[in-house]
Amino acid sequence: MTTAQSQSSAIPPSENPSAAARAPLALDSGNQASGTAIPVPVAQLIDIRKTYFKPDGSVMVEALRGVNLSIPRGEYVAIMGASGSGKSTLMYLLGCLDRPTSGAYLLDGRNVARMHDEELSAFRGRTIGFIFQSFNLIPQLTIEENAEVPLFYQGLEKSERRERAIEALRMVELDHRLGHRPSELSGGQQQRAAIARALVTRPLILMADEPTGNLDSATGLAILRTFERLHEAGMTIVMVTHDPAIGRRAGRVIFMKDGDVESDLRADRPDPVSDPDQAPGH
């Protein structure tokens, strides 16, 4: 249980998440498509460095070498690049799972780099929704119980936890499978349950590290379609991928090389998912 909610008063008004940004996503309204609104950065990295040291204090690896990056609210970003280029390190920092060695990371207007551990994990809990390649669902729990897990840490009443879990499962079109455990679902459905678990806290950013890496391509397409619907409803999404086809669907592709941004391209018109309704996974 945390008192994290009280921290929002420290957020400057221009950066403060509006009620709309925190409200349940109205997926069927489609009224917040990016492009028309003035972009407000939800995340900003300023000269971020991450150095791994050996036990004797000498430098082992400079994983990030002065990264500058600004992610506006509502953007759909793909992070690409060769193995070892720093993608996961960058994701860990963006997702508040780690802190930079130097530089500033402003998330929702607050400098994450200066937070101590407890503050950081409380802040992470209400700003970031993480989706992993291997789903990481708890096998003994039903999908709605899985989706409720992050809310335990926020001290919500049981009835509200359940309500929010079902709302999130509805967003990923899985509310017809309530009561099922992960093993009773397809891979794509399991990943959608994991997306629901990431959405349940109504995060500012959804982060995904290779979310379709363990799925066949047709199932992966259905997952991408889910991300696109969330993006169309206004969600900010940052996704690491090795798949250029996924990169083409995102509105922006950041290529990492040797610990820095090599290129940062915005697509005028991202590729749509060609035939989502034909993809299995429902």
Ligand X SMILES: Nc1ncnc2c1ncn2[C@@H]1O[C@H](COP(=O)(O)OP(=O)(O)OP(=O)(O)O)[C@@H](O)[C@H]1O
Kindly state whether residue 262 participates in binding ligand X, applying the rule CB under 6 A. no
- Amino acid occupying residue 102: S
Alpha-carbon span 67 to 49, nearest angstrom: 7
Which residue, 163 or 264, has its beta carbon nearer to ligand X? 264
Alpha-carbon span 253 to 239, nearest angstrom: 10
Q: How far is the CB of 162 from Mg ion (least distance, A)?
A: 35
Which residue, 89 or 127, has its beta carbon nearer to ligand X? 89
State the binding string over 45-84 for Mg ion (x if CB under 5 A, else -): ----------------------------------------
CA-nearest of 62, 107, 104 to 86 is 62
Q: Position of tokens 């335990």?
A: 152
Q: How far is the CB of 40 from Mg ion (least distance, A)?
A: 29
Alpha-carbon span 137 to 205, nearest angstrom: 20
61: partner contacted, choices ligand X, Mg ion, none (Cβ within 5-8 A by kind): ligand X
Q: How far is the CB of 209 from ligand X (least distance, A)?
A: 8
**Which of the stretches 59-67, 70-78, 144-152, 272-280 binds ligand X when contact is defined by CB under 6 A?**
59-67
Among 63, 143, 172, 224, binds ligand X (CB under 6 A): 63
Q: Cα-flanking dihedrals φ and ψ of residue 85, to 5°?
A: -80, -15
Q: Tell me the three state secondary structure of residue 42.
A: strand
Kindly state whether residue 87 participates in binding ligand X, applying the rule CB under 6 A. yes
Alpha-carbon span 211 to 236, nearest angstrom: 16
Q: Tell me the three state secondary structure of residue 46.
A: strand
Residues engaged in binding ligand X (CB under 6 A): 52, 60-61, 63, 81, 83-89
